[in-house]
Structure 1
Amino acid sequence: MSVKGRVAGVAVAGALSFALPIVSYYEGLNLIAYLDPVGVPTICYGHTDGVKIGQTRSVAECDRLLNAELGQAISAVDRLVKVPMPDTRRAALGSFVYNAGIGAFAKSTLLKKLNSGDILGGCNEMLRWVWAGGKKLKGLERRRQAEVKLCIQS
C-alpha cells in the first residue's frame, strides 16, 4: 500500500472510531433480512445492497459490511467537504451519509452550508432529515439529534 493510501486509512480510522457506536446503535443488528420502515429489504446494520428477504448473515459478516460501508461514507465526506473538520464532525457526517446516502449528501443544503463556512447551520440541517416514506420517524429524530451534537463539537 502506498504512503498516501496508509495516511488516508489512518484518517478514516479516527472518524470511524467515533461513528461506529452511533451507526451500530441507531441501525441495530439484524442477522435475518427484514423490510425497513419504507419497505426496503435490509440486513445487518442497515445494509440494503442486493438483500433478499429470508437472507441471513453472521455477526462477523455484518461487522465487515459496517466497517467497509461506513469507511466509504467517511471517505465521501472527506472528498465533498472542503473545509477543515475535527474527527467528531467527520464521524457525525459519516453516520449521516451512511444513512441518507452519498448522492443525497452531495446535493444537500447541509453540504453547501458547511462548505460556505456555516458549520452550525450545516450541522443543524441534519435535523430536517427525519422523514422516510412520508412519515416522520422518532428513531431518525433521535439519531439526527445525536449526529448534530457530535457535529458541532470542535
Structure 2
Amino acid sequence: MASRLTKGVLGTLTAAGILAVGFVGGWEGKHNTAYRDIVGVPTICFGETRGVEMGDTATDEECAAMLGDGLVEFEAGIRRCLKNPDQIPDKSYVAFLSAAYNIGQRAFCGSSMARRWNAGNLEGACDALLLWNKAGGRVIRGLVNRRKAERELCLEGSRAQ
C-alpha cells in the first residue's frame, strides 16, 4: 500500500511526512514517562497508548520512532477507508491523519470526515473534524483547540486545490 509520508527504500520523509510529524508531535507533546491521559488511558511519548503500562519510560529516540511508526500505521489504516486518498491535498491529508492518530483508525473510518470525503465533499469533511471535541463524554478545551487547528489545516489544503 502506498504511503504519502515516506518515499524510497530508506523511507525518506516527504513534505507531507514532515508536516505530519511536526503537526501531530506538536499537539501531542512528548512525555518520556507514561502518564494517564484525560480519560485514564496509560500514554507515553507523542500520544502512544498501544501496549503502554504505567511506569514505562522511553528515550527521545524511542519516542521519535514510535511517532514515525504510528503515523505510517495510521496512514495505512485511513487509506483503506478513503476513496482516492491520493487526491486529498497534503494539508487536508495530514489533518485527517492527525485526527485518526488521536481518535483511532476505526473511529476515523466510521466518521463523518471519511463519509464526507468519500462523497466528494472535502470542505464538509474538514468541518466534521470539529465534531470530535469530547473525551469521556464531555467537551475538552484542548480537543476543541486541536480540532480547530486541524480544520484550519484541512481547509488550507482544500483552498490549494
Structure 1 position 6, deviation (Å): 8.4
User: How many pairs were matched up?
Assistant: 151
Share of identical aligned residues, percent? 36
Structure 1 position 73, deviation (Å): 1.7
- Give me the whole-angstrom Cα distance separating, in 1, the residues matched to 2:118 and 2:105: 16
- Give me the whole-angstrom Cα distance separating, in 2, the residues matched to 1:150 and 1:120: 11
- Give me the whole-angstrom Cα distance separating, in 2, the residues matched to 1:95 and 1:31: 20
Gaps of 5+ in 2: none
List aligned pairs for 1:3-42, cutoff 5 A. 9-10=6-7, 13-42=14-43
- Give me the whole-angstrom Cα distance separating, in 1, the residues matched to 2:5 and 2:60: 27
Structure 1 position 13, deviation (Å): 3.3
Mark the CA change 1:88 to 1:35 in structure 2 (over 3 Å): closer, same or farther: same
RMSD: 2.1
Mark the CA change 1:103 to 1:59 in structure 2 (over 3 Å): closer, same or farther: same
TM-score, normalization by structure 1? 0.89
The letter of the residue matching 1:100 is: I
Q: Provide the residue aligned with 2:97 in structure 1.
A: 94
Task: Note if 1:133 corresponds to 2:136.
Answer: yes
Please state which structure has a larger fraction of its residues in helix: 1
Structure showing greater relative contact order (alpha-carbon pairs closer than 8 Å, 6 or more residues apart): 1
Give the ranges of 4+ consecutive aligned residues of structure 1 lying more than 4 Å apart after TM superposition: 4-8
- Give me the whole-angstrom Cα distance separating, in 2, the residues matched to 1:133 and 1:7: 32
8 Å Cα contact 2:112/2:128 also seen in 1: yes
Q: Provide the residue aligned with 2:67 in structure 1.
A: 66
